[in-house]
Structure 1
Amino acid sequence: MATDIKDAAQAVDAASVMRLVPARPRLLALGEPTHGENALLELRNELFRQLVEQEGYRTIAIESDCMTSLLVDDYVTSGTGTLEEVMERGISHGWGAFAANHELVRWMRAYNIRVDDEGRPASERLRFAGFDGPLEITHAASPRQALTALHDHLAAHVDTDLLPCTADTLDRLLDADDRWTDPAAMMDPSRSVGQSAEARQLRLLADDLVALLDQQTPHLLAATSRDDVDRARLYGRTATGLLRYHFWMADTSPARMSRLCALRDSMMAHNLLAVAARGPVLAHAHNSHLQREKSRMQMWQGPVEWWSAGALVSAQLGAEYAFVATALGTIRHQGVDTPPPDTLEGLLYALPEDRCVIDAPRLATALGDTRPVPRVSPWFGYAPLDPARLADNDGILFLKDVPQR
């Protein structure tokens, strides 16, 4: 058994990852079982650089606000702003402060500038995307930014008579942004404005604006550019997604949190599909967002489950979607010590390598009916892999010990 497991292990590099799948995937998803560890982000950066240089990947998409991430993309493609500004404002959840994220964005910008300082052709430039909605665990953003940006784009290029409303009407219906972002609404549905008369009208207007964008696509492509139209579609997805999310924040049924989690991952999935439409992408997020199976979480109201973004994208892309989960041995600074030997992580911890890539289906075959027991984490911030779903992964990236940085 030990020999079979060792035979399934390979070096951590892009070539090893590509050998896990029959052909280069359009969307290669790399998961992580915990957030905020620079060692994991550095591994991601290393793989992305190799995928760019060896496999023709040009885009990385991370679990960050899709709207603010536009600032980072503008910086890496055209130098707009400064590194410090875009890291502070362009990456959500506070992750712009991590050194490995700084290094990623700095390297991408440097790559896009050729030796002659003229810059690479647009088709060769690296692109950065966030694929999360403008959502935090405590609240959801106001739909103002996305909705008004979509309206402004259409107002600048189509006949005014075709617009379903004016900018002033949107402003009046939106009212103060803090009505939308009240953190009390996450725990108390009665504090949400998502089912108010104004919010219901905004949902209809947002739908009409997105429909108008679709109807005017040939004209908009001629008048602007593919990138501009893609950005307007992002505004539309975000506006309708946020209004839908706010509507269900006001729900009082037992399914409320399952529905909200599902809506978030649905927004993620649509953003990933849109990014993948322009070429191969490395996506990086928590394992629970990228796995092919349902995600589950224990919340204050009890257990919730929903289909992950990875499951939704896999259903669309089929073999063009690949998922490599990351598993860890120890995170000692968080109280996660050596895994028990009868767990999946314990079996991998016994390998001599400090890090390796595992062919997950091959490992599942080697284990046969002798499946490891699930590991129990003493720290809420780390989620071990489910050994019963091992074969649903294309691969596992295993890191034996996560150092404190």
Structure 2
Amino acid sequence: MDTDIRHTAHPVDSAAVMRLLPVRPRLLALGEPTHGEDALLDVRNELFRQLVEREGYRTVAIESDCMTGLVVDDYVASGAGTLDDVMERGFSHGWGASAANRELVRWMRAYNDGRPASDRVRFAGIDGPLEMTGAASPRQALTALHGYLSARVDADLLPCTAEALDRLLGADDRWTNPAAMMDPAQSVGQSSEARELRLLADDLVALLDTQTPHLIAATSRADRDRARLYGRTALGLLRYHASMADTSTARMARLVAVRDQMMAENLLAVAERGPALVHAHNSHLQREKSAMRMGGMPLEWWSAGALVSARLGEEYAFVATALGTIRHKGVDTPSSDTIEGLLYALPEDRCVIDAPRLAAALGDTRPAPRVSPWFGYAPFDPAHLADSDGIVFVRDVPQS
């Protein structure tokens, strides 16, 4: 069995990853089992560079706010702003402090310098404007969509005025109140104003769609793509806020499902413009139903990857990342009866594993699930082995 496992391992590069796949996917999803470790992001960066230079990929999409990600995309495309400002304003979840993310943005700007627009690399955030403590106001997305349409279609086609939107939205701190995450009664998501805003947002998105032929002639594709992003984000945020106000036992399951639905819609939009590398947590990209415990409650939902895979088929590929140790977080050498333990016995510090071939080599013998001593790391689920296209294994993760 050890010999068979060794035969499934290859050096981490774009060619090795592509050999695992039946076709060149429009979305190549690289998951990670934990956040905030630059060693894993360095692997992502190098793979993206190779995919750009050897395979024609032109977009990297990461688990960060899709609205603030526009700041990064503008910078890498045109040099608008400064790198320091972009790292501060262009990322959510604190990702802008990462040296590896900074290097990614720096490299993309340097790559684009002097290239025609059709050959430039692009950046996209795929997450909604969401944090652990709550969600953003829908103001930015709604007003941007309304502004785009009001400048390009007859005023009598608009479902409302900008002033009416402003009145219904009210103060932004009503929407961002962190107490609403734990107490549904603190959320405005099911107020009469929020319900009316959901109808208006739906009407604005419908207007955007019904005016497509006119808008193609009247505006650039980039502007239309951004307007569609505003519409997706406004509707997603309003659904999310409505779920925050839900008092049923399904509340948390609805919240995580709405978040991944927003990610899936953003990923499908990214796929429309050509092949992209996607990077997010394994649980957001896997094909199987995701599960976790929150507040002692078990939650299950279909991930963004599962939703997108159902739409794209072979044009969606998922390569999970697994790791051996994160000693500075108390994650030590894995037990030999786990997937991570089997891979840790290989001589390579980093390798790509043919996951279906490894599953076949193991036969009916399935390794035990690894148990993490640290809440921030989710070990690879051996039950998902055959349904993953590959595994990138990183033996030891040093402190960033």
Aligned residues, how many? 400
Match of 1:307 in 2: 302
Q: 1:193 deviation in Å?
A: 0.2
Match of 1:67 in 2: 67
Match of 2:76 in 1: 76
Structure 2, gaps ≥5 residues long: none
1:264-311 Cα deviation digits (max 9, x unpaired): 000000000001101001000000000001111101151111000000
Match of 1:322 in 2: 317
Which of 370, 387, 391 is equivalent to 1:396? Answer: 391
Match of 2:164 in 1: 169
1:149-207 Cα deviation digits (max 9, x unpaired): 00000001110111000000000000000000001001000000000000000000000
Match of 1:334 in 2: 329
1:76-120 Cα deviation digits (max 9, x unpaired): 00111111111100110000010000000000000001xxxxx21
Letter of the structure 2 residue corresponding to residue 255 of structure 1: A
1:332-369 Cα deviation digits (max 9, x unpaired): 00000000000000000000111100000000000001
Mapped to 2, the partners of 1:137 and 1:403 lie a distance apart of 26
Segment drifting more, 140-149 vs 219-228: 219-228
- State TM-score, norm by structure 2: 0.99
Match of 1:31 in 2: 31
Match of 1:43 in 2: 43
Deviating beyond 4 angstroms after TM superposition, the runs of 4 or more aligned structure 1 residues are: none
Mapped to 1, the partners of 2:318 and 2:366 lie a distance apart of 21
Mapped to 2, the partners of 1:260 and 1:356 lie a distance apart of 35
Match of 1:226 in 2: 221
Mapped to 1, the partners of 2:30 and 2:323 lie a distance apart of 14
Mapped to 2, the partners of 1:193 and 1:85 lie a distance apart of 32
Mapped to 2, the partners of 1:379 and 1:247 lie a distance apart of 32
Output the aligned Cα RMSD.
Answer: 0.6
Are 1:205 and 2:200 an aligned pair?
yes
Match of 1:101 in 2: 101
- State TM-score, norm by structure 1: 0.98
Mapped to 1, the partners of 2:80 and 2:349 lie a distance apart of 39
Letter of the structure 2 residue corresponding to residue 67 of structure 1: M
Q: 1:318 deviation in Å?
A: 0.1
Mapped to 2, the partners of 1:66 and 1:372 lie a distance apart of 37
Secondary structure class of the residue paired with 2:301: strand
Which of 149, 154, 159 is equivalent to 1:154? Answer: 149
Are 1:249 and 2:244 an aligned pair?
yes
Q: Percent of counterpart pairs with the same letter?
A: 80
Structure 1, gaps ≥5 residues long: 114-118
Match of 1:116 in 2: none
Match of 2:13 in 1: 13
Secondary structure class of the residue paired with 2:105: helix
1:324-403 alignment runs, 5 A limit: 324-403=319-398
Which of 175, 180, 192 is equivalent to 1:185? Answer: 180
Letter of the structure 2 residue corresponding to residue 308 of structure 1: S
1:196-252 Cα deviation digits (max 9, x unpaired): 000000000000000000011111111111111010000000001100110111000
Mapped to 2, the partners of 1:167 and 1:127 lie a distance apart of 31
Q: 1:38 deviation in Å?
A: 0.4
Q: 1:325 deviation in Å?
A: 0.2
1:102-151 Cα deviation digits (max 9, x unpaired): 000000000001xxxxx211110000000000001110000000000000
